[in-house]
Amino acid sequence: MADFEASLLEIIKEHAVGLTGELTRDTQIADLGIDSFSVVEIIYEVEEKLGVEVPFNANENPFGDMASVGDLIDALNKLIKK
């Protein structure tokens, strides 16, 4: 689990152009400066590197009700456990 979380944080950090400090579970998604192209790249990398299939509809907000990076990590953990 810790390896998964660290790997996910690294993937997000690579695409977070708006990140000014350390990336943590408390970092707000809105503060990352991630555009729609970066979202697709993040999803692809998560699927490729972490072996998690992420349901994605380009017509919807991929973050849904998620506000923080921790929310995103928790949502991906739920997908893994399915």
- In 3D space, the residue among 9, 6, 27, 5 whose CA is nearest the CA of residue 18 turns out to be 27
Question: Could you give the number of structural domains in the chain?
Answer: 1
Residues 6+ apart with CB under 8 A from 24: 9, 69, 70
Say which CATH number the domain at 24 has: 1.10.1200.10
- 10-residue mean pLDDT profile of the chain (82 residues): values are 83 89 91 84 86 72 75 82 72
* Domain extent at residue 44: 2-81
For position 63, what pLDDT does the model report?
62
What pTM value is reported for the model? Answer: 0.77
Distance from C-alpha of 29 to C-alpha of 33, rounded to nearest angstrom: 8
For position 50, what pLDDT does the model report?
82
